Amino acid sequence: MEIAICLKCEKELRIEGSTVHEGVILDMSSGYGSRFDELDAWNFEKETSDLTRIEKAMLAQLRRAFLCDDCFEKHIDKFKLYRIESTSTVEEI
């Protein structure tokens, strides 16, 4: 079992495999316009242990955060929601 922290309220969440008990997973990608975008392309010559937390995050292929169910429900109006019908059809819902 692994423990994650809710991004909003910092409640501890239990993770077992791909199951987040009483919470949801947020997979993140950077979009053009972020001041951290350039870090994606950096060729780091530093040892991994010498990288800053931001540098490590931008080098990661998977960036994940967690929200507890209460915070997800409370802040759902701030999410952009999309239905993907096919590779060419994306509809905001």
Q: Where are the domains of the chain?
A: 2-92
> With contact defined as beta carbons under 8 Å apart, do 4 and 21 qualify?
no
Per-residue model confidence (pLDDT) at position 39? 67
Indicate if the pLDDT at residue 20 is higher than 60. Answer: yes
Alpha helices in the chain (DSSP H): 37-41, 53-59, 69-75
Least confident of 32-36, 49-53, 60-64, 77-81: 32-36
Q: Which two tokens stand for residue 7?
A: 């991004």
> Which phi and psi angles does 73 have, rounded to 5°?
-65, -40
Per-residue model confidence (pLDDT) at position 11? 97
Q: What is the pTM of this model?
A: 0.73
Per-residue model confidence (pLDDT) at position 87? 78
Interval 52-73: pLDDT, tens: 888 888 777 788 999 999 999 9
Among 20, 19, 16, 40, CA closest to 28: 40
Strand arrangement, sheet containing 19-20: 2-5, 12-16, 19-20
More confident call, 68 vs 85: 68
